[in-house]
Amino acid sequence: MSETTTANPAKVTMYGADWCRDCRRSEALLNSLDIEWEKIDVEKDPTAADRAHAISGRLNIPVVHFTDGTFQVEPSDNDLKTKLAELGAI
């Protein structure tokens, strides 16, 4: 996981939890592709689940939010890769 102060159109924010298998899978994919991303833990941040719900309209995690305003909920690896390619990240 990396953080930076420069704007990066490919940076994503992922709302998730350590116990969530889909979250861990998406984290592993983002890391393996060397994608700049930030994790918001819905268990540790008391407002995170509400923010994820406001973005997606759903209670499922992970919610992967992109800087172009789009999001994916429980994305497959293929869907996540396709979106990252669309953003020019891979």
pLDDT of amino acid 11: 82
Q: Is residue 6 part of a domain?
A: no
The CATH number for 82's domain is: 3.40.30.10
Q: Is residue 49 part of a domain?
A: yes
- Provide the domain count of the chain: 1
Indicate whether 35 belongs to any domain.
yes
In a domain, 3, yes or no: no
Token couple for 2: 């990396």
Q: Which helix (H) or strand (E) holds 21?
A: helix 21-32
78 within a domain of the structure (yes/no):
yes
* 89 CB-contact burial (10 Å; exposed 0-12 / middle 13-18 / buried 19+): buried
Whole-number pLDDT of residue 10: 55
The pLDDT confidence band at residue 79, using thresholds 50, 70 and 90, is: very high
The answer to whether residue 2 scores a pLDDT higher than 70 is: no
Domain that holds residue 36: 12-86
DSSP symbol at 69: S
pLDDT digits (tens, 9 = 90+) for 14-73: 999 999 999 999 999 999 999 999 999 999 999 999 999 999 999 999 999 998 999 999
Residue-level pLDDT at 9: 54
